[in-house]
Amino acid sequence: MATQQTLLIIGIFVLAGFDGCFSVIPEEEQNPNFWYVKGKEALHTSLSMKPNLHRAKNLILFLGDGMGISTVTAARIMKGQMEGKTGEESVLAMDTFPHLALSKTYNVDQQMPDSAATATAYLCGVKANYGTLGLSATARRKDCSSAKGNEVKSILHQAKMAGKSVGIVSTARVQHASPAASYSHTPERDWYSDKELPSEAITGGCKDIAYQLVHNTDINVILGGGRQYMFPKETVDPEYSTVTGSRQDKTNLVDVWLRSRNNAKYVWNKKDFDAINEDNTDYLMGLFEPKDTRYELERDPSMDPSLTEMVEKAIKILRKNSTGFYLFVEDKLISCLVSIA
């Protein structure tokens, strides 16, 4: 009997698939009782939810950069349609989370916000000016002298101070605005390396974001793109012979990072990444592209790990800390139109 039912359901899906368009209104959705039952179920689930009063040990923050409500709606419909249904009735894993909230992450000085000041809002808890990172709104964009004394602390920094291991994983360059709000304080999100720093910022004592990645909060796991900002301009990229580092100060920041840490490893390709033994690695930096990594559809799986693989590796290293860990995960490459922000 069970087998017959299963076959019947598959049959309906195949028919809908052959139909080519989705003009067929699902039988059940025409019946008001279907919706009443669903409503009752939802109410029952909410009423029977027990508040979790335990104290969390670990925290993973996933950020979909450019993934607003309409992008999520499009994803839900597409998931359903790929299963041969009309789409809207589909349920994403995140739709089933017990708690959902919306939060405003606006910029203080203008209406269209950017990733730097919004990341400062959700990672440091302080709303900020457009284009600035890890600074309160007292600081002004590109004004080095306005930065000093206006630094705000990120959740990554606070987790580290609380004795946890910490990490960042991103499909963007790791010096990009969203991850950089975890560890840098700068009035200009585009100051990736000292090449981008104007001379008055250098004489004013401001440091580029790549420098701050290595010298500020001690981060256990750093995975993503952004190789070029770590190496001197004389250094040719190991993967692309036409690309060189961008640093003018002749500093190899990867070496600086490795030298001052125990059990630290640096990798730039999938083979070396796979060979990392989490048991004897306490620090891992993996930079797989000179700038941002590629879209998942364009990724060469023999050269670069996927976001999932990076997250798995990060957790295996970070979870060795008995006090717990904090991990920031960003997929920047979700919607190409919105990813400019």
Phi, psi angles (nearest 5°) of residue 253? -70, -25
Rounded Cα–Cα distance for residues 257 and 264 (Å): 8
Instruction: Mark the segment that binds ligand NAG (CB under 6 A) among 18-26, 131-139, 142-150, 320-328.
Output: 320-328
**Buried residues in 200-209 as b, exposed as e (16+ CB within 10 A):** ebeebebbbb
The reply to whether 65 sits in an annotated binding site is yes
The first and second tokens of residue 139, run together, are 């600081």
Dist. CA 334–CA 62, nearest whole Å:
13
Report in angstroms how near the CB of residue 170 gets to ligand NAG at its nearest. Answer: 21
Q: Verify binding: residue 163, ligand NAG, rule CB under 6 A.
A: yes
Asked whether position 138 contacts ligand NAG by CB under 6 A, the answer is no
Q: Which is nearer to ligand NAG, 140 or 261 (CB)?
A: 261
d(CA 25, CA 181): 47
Residue 260 interacts with ligand NAG (CB under 6 A): yes or no? no
Does the annotation place 292 within a ligand binding site?
Answer: no
Task: Using DSSP, state whether 59 is helix, strand or coil.
Answer: strand
Minimum CB–partner distance for residue 155 and ligand NAG (Å): 14
The answer to whether 215 is a known ligand-binding residue is: no
Using CA atoms, how far apart are residues 243 and 227, in angstroms rounded to an integer?
10
CB 221 within 8 A of CB 284: yes
Shortest reach from residue 324's CB to ligand NAG, in Å? 8
Structure-token pair, residue 145: 């002298």
Distance CA 18, CA 81 (A): 13
Token pair 């390709």 in the structure block, residue = 269
Residue 164 within binding range of ligand NAG, rule CB under 6 A: yes
Q: Is 115 a catalytic residue?
A: yes
Q: Does 280 bind ligand NAG (CB under 6 A)?
A: no
Residue 81 interacts with ligand NAG (CB under 6 A): yes or no: no
Is residue 199 part of the contact set for ligand NAG (CB under 6 A)? no
Instruction: Give every strand in the sheet of 59-64, ordered side by side.
Output: 59-64, 325-331, 165-173, 221-225, 283-287, 264-267
Residue 157 near ligand NAG by CB under 6 A? no
**Using the rule CB under 6 A, is 320 a contact of ligand NAG?**
yes
Q: Helices (DSSP H) in 90-198: which residue ranges?
A: 115-124, 155-161, 177-180
* 330 belongs to an annotated ligand binding site: yes
* Span of 30-38, 116-124, 261-269, 318-326 interacting with ligand NAG by CB under 6 A: 318-326
Output the six-digit token pair for 341. Answer: 């922000």
Size of the site for ligand NAG (CB under 6 A): 8
Is 165 near ligand NAG (CB under 6 A)? yes
Question: Cβ–Cβ contacts within 10 Å for residue 272, how many?
Answer: 12
DSSP symbol at 238: S
Point out the catalytic residue in the list 23, 48, 90, 115: 115
CB of 165 to ligand NAG, least distance (A): 5
160 touches ligand NAG by CB under 6 A: yes
Catalytic positions are 115
Residues that bind ligand NAG (CB under 6 A): 160, 163-165, 320-323
Q: Which residues are annotated as a binding site?
A: 65, 176, 178, 330
